[in-house]
A and B are shown apart, each in its own frame.
Chain A
Amino acid sequence: MQKYSFLSLIKNAFSGHKGWEVAWKDPTPKKEYDVVIIGGGGHGLATAYYLAKEHKITNIAVIEKGWIGGGNVGRNTTIIRSNYMHDENGLFYEKGMDLWRSMSQDLNFNIMFSPRGIINLAHSDAQMNAYARRGNSMRLNGIDAVLLDREEVKKKVPVLDFSDNVRFPIFGALMQPSAGTARHDAVAWGYARQADSMGVDIIQHCEVTGFDINNGKIQGIKTSRGDIKTKKVGLCVAGSTSILAEMLNMTLPIETHLLQACVSEPIKPILDHVVTFGAGHFYCSQSDKGEMVMGGDLDGYNSYAQRGNLPTLQHVLTEGIAMFPFLSKLNMLRTWGGIMDMSMDGSPIIDKTHIAGLYLNCGWCYGGFKATPASGFTFAHTIAQDRVHELNAGFRLDRFSTGHLIDEKGLGTKTWIS
């Protein structure tokens, strides 16, 4: 594989950029693989990469029905954080933070990781108390957390509305300074390029349509480009999980819902951090191009349409303007939507299943981008060793029936309001 560097950039500039190799090949599916990963999103590609790198399994196919990066990995608002209260989530996402910090070097691909800090605003004394508790839980797990008072928030984010007559005055905030953003497409491409170079077949425009199961064991999959034999299948299809579960006669504790995001026209640098509203659901950061990147609530009803509806956008942006009055002056550049695998406790599932050789990775809700490296790392371990890694041991599929939920927000099973 060609190494990307300043030197290679100069060299190729002098030869009219005709010397660049393709970043990954376009192979025809083989008859058989050691492992098949379904879904070429961030999680599927990362899983293939760590299977090859950490477990030396390289006879792998990643089967993607569309194109690499066309799913949620290319649709999210790129927030990366580990500000969780429960140990299972905190430790898992903090492993992710370690991997994020070294990812550009590791993948030899600039993923533009920008640890600019996330600020969760609080609008009451009770919320400050709750944040103090969460911050303490985080610090016990070695995760950085700082409680900011109103004046400190004002210094960091002066464009927030600090006037006296607001409905939700700002009392302070919880900040995770090491949180941030990254370039989402680069994450997909970086993992794809490295996996490909180690021998993984990335097969695009190939839809999985069924499974071959015999005696409770996976034998292979059926695809739009023919049958493929394999003894191990990893499911990484995010919002499409329930569709594949139906082919497997499984009913899962997840529902698929629609989430939108939008960006404004680009403006000069005005916001240095990721900031979230504490009295509703709105968050905002500024991209390197200057666009304000914004998102919030789900559309609120089961949906597989990757296309949103205006009432939700209006609701979300109303919250945005309450926080940042200047937003009302900006033009909207673009809106889009993606479909989310909402789990019943808001935490993910990375586990084996009752079918031997079938492994499940789902339930990412609207927070799965930041999980990409840790998910790939632990899922690869689960598949290669046929047992869970200690970091995903809590993300069991049976935790719902046994009562071991990992419910950060205590919101219950109405996935569409969480």
Chain B
Amino acid sequence: MLYIKCPHCGLRSQNEFAYGGDASVKRPELNKEISDQEWDEFVYLRKSPRGKHLELWHHVSGCRQWIKVLRDTSTHEIFNTYKSEEKVG
């Protein structure tokens, strides 16, 4: 069982959360000319690192906020959690 510290609610079990994937992926800016390459990178390409991974989780059975979690993909250790708008690093 993973235990995730929601920045709004505190420590909760993974059962209350839904996963949202790599949080470092940025949607291309609105109202800008966007190349196919940029869309490809945004929609399909993922680093999928072994080690530290900043990712989105949705506290869906709690406060329903999206949060960011810094987690190790090989040990599953969670280093830190952040509010969605918080700057990381």
Contact = CB atoms under 8 A, between A and B. Distances in A.
A254 B2 CA distance: 24
Contacts of A310: 1
Interface stretch (A101-109, A120-128, A298-306): A298-306
A309 B2 contact: yes
Interface in A240-259: 242-243, 246, 251-256
Given A242-B47, A253-B45, A304 B22 contact: no
B15 interface: yes
Interface stretch (B26-34, B59-67, B70-78, B80-88): B70-78
Contacts of A300: 19
Which bracket fits the contact residues of B?
Answer: 20 to 34
A236 B50 CA distance: 18
A147 interface: no
B53 A302 contact: yes
A416 interface: yes
A305 to B, nearest CB: 6
Nearest to B47: A251
Contact of A344 (B37, B44, B71, B76): B44
A251 B76 contact: no
Contact of B50 (A251, A253, A304, A344): A304
A400 interface: yes
A255 B46 contact: yes
A365 to B, nearest CB: 14
A413 interface: yes
A414 interface: yes
Q: At the interface, is chain B mostly helix, strand, loop or mixed? A: mixed
A255 B21 CA distance: 10
B48 A416 contact: no
B73 A251 contact: no
Interface string B9-43: 00001110001011000000000000011011101
Interface residues of A, number: 24
Contacts of B41: 251
Interface string A370-402: 000000000000000000000000000000110
Interface string A401-418: 100000000000110100
Given A302-B53, A302-B55, A304-B50, A253 B44 contact: yes
A93 B43 CA distance: 27
A411 to B, nearest CB: 14
A218 B45 CA distance: 23
Q: Which of B40, B50, B55 gathers the greatest number of chain A CB atoms within 10 Å?
A: B50
Given A251-B45, A413-B44, A414-B21, A304 B74 contact: yes
B76 A252 contact: no
Contact of B48 (A254, A311, A401, A414): A254
B3 to A, nearest CB: 11
B37 A242 contact: no
B44 A401 contact: yes
A416 B58 CA distance: 14
Given A253-B46, A255-B46, A302-B48, 9 more contacts: A242-B46, A242-B50, A251-B45, A252-B48, A256-B48, A256-B50, A302-B21, A400-B44, A416-B21
12 contacts: A242-B47, A246-B47, A254-B48, A255-B22, A256-B50, A302-B48, A304-B74, A305-B73, A310-B1, A401-B40, A413-B44, A416-B19
The 5 A-B pairs at the shortest CB distance, nearest first, are namely A242-B48, A401-B40, A253-B44, A400-B44, A304-B50
